[in-house]
Amino acid sequence: MLNFIYYPVSWIMWVWHWIFAEITPDNPGGNGVAWALSVVFLVFTLRAILYKPFVKQIRTTKKMQEINPQLQAIRKKYAKDRVKMTEEMQKLQKEHGFNPLLGCLPMLLQVPVFIGLFHVLRSFNRTATGMGQLGMSPEQTREVGNYAFSPELVQNFLDARLFGVPLSAFITEPVEQFQAFVQPGAPIDFTRTQIAIVVIPMMIIASIATHMNSRASVARQPEAALENPQTRMMNMLALYIFPLGILVTGPFFPVAILLYWMSNNIWTYGQQHLVFGRIAKEEEAAKLEKQEKQKANAPKPGARPDPGRKLAKGESAGDVDEQASAAPAAAVATSAGPLSGLQRWLRPDRRPKADAGTSPAEADAVASGSDATDATDASSPSVDGAGSAGQTAKSGSSAKSGGGQKSSAGQKSGTAHVAGKNRKGNAKRKKGGRPGGRR
């Protein structure tokens, strides 16, 4: 019924056994090393095929962790409406390109391979009786092929030994079935204790490797995910229940199946570190590239972001705001220095207000005189008290004569105008003399 699984598995084993049988020395009965390596490289072949789905699984898991806060918000918002909750969650997952099936694909594909390998290994020895068993004699089972394996290869497999025990033997196997692993009429050359000595260490190694893989996966989960009760339950199963399950069910599985478990978990452990390290480097490179892009697109000091500018690829509106806020506002005042008369005239807030009856030409002259005064004050600060007092008096007279001015810009621009009036007053006083003083 499942021949579409059994034949591919047996053919992969056949190819690897043929390769390693040519490399490794042949034993008188059967080459146990070649058969063991064929099982190990069956695992490696499967995992190589599943490498890309495994990488997608890791990326899907990380993406799930990123959108998990939004999923929690949807669950909280639509707690009383399951249909709406499901629709919003599917919509969010679709927006982020999240596919839950990719997270389960590697494990789902390993299940039929495990079932196929288990069936092919049991089919080498068909002397078992019971439901679904053929109950052949030892002689008959040696004369029947096993999917891709000819009867000669079946005999070679039954005679092969790994650490002194057959590859398809298991601890709880009935003694009557041991006869199939030796030539007809030959004594049995192994015991149940020998099988246990080989199987138990393999069970322990496979269990520890399973725990270490689960522990590495849990360590990469964010704190928010660990607070989820369902996540904690799954972590508990992966960390303790699954490794314990290998120890409990190990005595019922052949040596080759335990070899499959052990090599599969060791491969997974190394592949996880390789893939996670590669993804971490990619994320770091993307982060640096984003920072460089922000620096390149950042506006110059004092420049405002162009609202009509199109966003670059991978750039969001938040990035533009961040670039605009990152430009130092103080650089405008410190780097530009005193503004010229034209710059002041072009700025409405610094343009002097003309008095009634003042022509535009006179207003321009007032602005030019104010700029010259500001430039002189900025380049040549006063060093004595008299100069400071004179400036104070000057500003005071400006305030009196220009009481109609309300802004600081207006006060500065009116200084030259008031100075002209003061010169006229001085001329009158010189002509008429100071009141109350000497003539």
Q: What is the pLDDT of residues 152-197, one digit of tens each?
A: 999 999 999 999 999 999 999 999 899 999 988 889 999 999 999 9
pLDDT of residue 100: 65
CA distances, 361 to each of 357, 367, 370 (Å): 12, 10, 14
d(CA 397, CA 402): 8
With contact defined as beta carbons under 8 Å apart, do 141 and 98 qualify?
A: no
Evaluated on CA atoms 363, 369, 371, 377, the torsion sign reads negative
d(CA 40, CA 257): 10
Q: How far apart are the first and last CA of the chain?
A: 134
Span 268-294, average pLDDT: 86
pLDDT of residue 435: 45
8-state DSSP, 436: T
pLDDT of residue 223: 75
pLDDT of residue 56: 81
- Per residue in 289-330, pLDDT (tens digit) is 888 888 887 776 666 655 555 555 555 555 555 555 555 444
> Within 13 Å of residue 74, how many CA atoms lie on the same side as its CB?
17
C-alpha torsion 219→225→226→232, nearest 10:
-100
Burial category of 192 from C-beta neighbours within 10 Å (exposed 0-12, middle 13-18, buried 19 and up): middle
User: Residue 149: which region, alpha, beta or left (left: phi > 0; alpha: psi -120 to 50)?
Assistant: beta
Please work out, in degrees rounded to the nearest 5, the angle formed at the alpha carbon of residue 76 by the alpha carbons of 75 and 79. 70
d(CA 274, CA 19): 28
pLDDT of residue 13: 95
d(CA 35, CA 160): 8
pLDDT of residue 401: 39
pLDDT of residue 208: 94
Q: Does position 410 have pLDDT exceeding 70, yes or no?
A: no
State the residue for tokens 């030539």.
183
Structure token pair of residue 175: 């003694």
pLDDT of residue 150: 95
CA distances, 106 to each of 51, 103, 229, 251, 388 (Å): 8, 7, 25, 26, 84
Q: Does position 402 have pLDDT exceeding 60, yes or no?
A: no
Q: For residue 418, how far is the Cα from the chain centroid?
A: 69
For the chain, percent of residues with pLDDT exceeding 90: 31
Span 352-375, average pLDDT: 50
